[in-house]
Amino acid sequence: MAKDKESRRKKVIETLNKARAMELTAISQYMNQHYGLDNMDYGELAKNMKLIAIDEMRHAEMFAERIKELGGEPVSEPDAKTVREQAVKEIFGFSANLEDVTIDMYNQFLLVCRENGDSISEKLLETIVEEEQEHFNYFDGVNSHIDKLGDNYLARIAGTPSSTGLQPQGFTVAKGQ
């Protein structure tokens, strides 16, 4: 019985590590896109891309914490390479597709957790899938606007501020408080 439980736990850890690697890919991809959009002076789009990347950072950390609770070691490598130097007209369709694939995979991962008796990991994936759906909706919406309105839509956004208004929160900032 203990062996069966250990085997089920390993399957969940492996699944959560796949999800974590996907999040690490998304973080790298979206931050790269954020920098590109900011350099092209599409501040509003850059700001939202950064905020979505921060959501993905949170997801990666949530997966890591759960993996550690289960006695596993979180992976630290993304599952794919970052696609660099994308044109603004390519970014949002690409990212919508990335989110669509993620939602599908996470729903499959959710089933693995359920089949292996881990309701906590199942709930974690349910929560993250909801947030990934919000990301998909945003990317798909922007992509649709770009497809339909093209340069007129992009001209409206050009020159908008890219500041996220985030307060610095890091090790050195926390030390100084």
The helix (H) or strand (E) run that includes residue 143 is: helix 119-149
Does the annotation flag 145 for ligand binding?
no
Does the annotation flag 132 for ligand binding?
yes
Does the annotation flag 59 for ligand binding?
yes
Does the annotation flag 135 for ligand binding?
yes
Under 8 Å between Cβ of 12 and 121: yes
Does the annotation flag 131 for ligand binding?
no
Residue 88's CB is within 10 A of a number of other CB atoms, namely 17
- 3-class SS of residue 75: coil
Residue where the block lists tokens 């729903």: 107
Length reported for the chain: 177
Does the annotation flag 99 for ligand binding?
yes
Binding residue numbers = 23, 55-57, 59, 99, 132, 135
Binding residue numbers for heme b = 57
Binding residue numbers for Fe cation = 23, 55-56, 59, 99, 132, 135
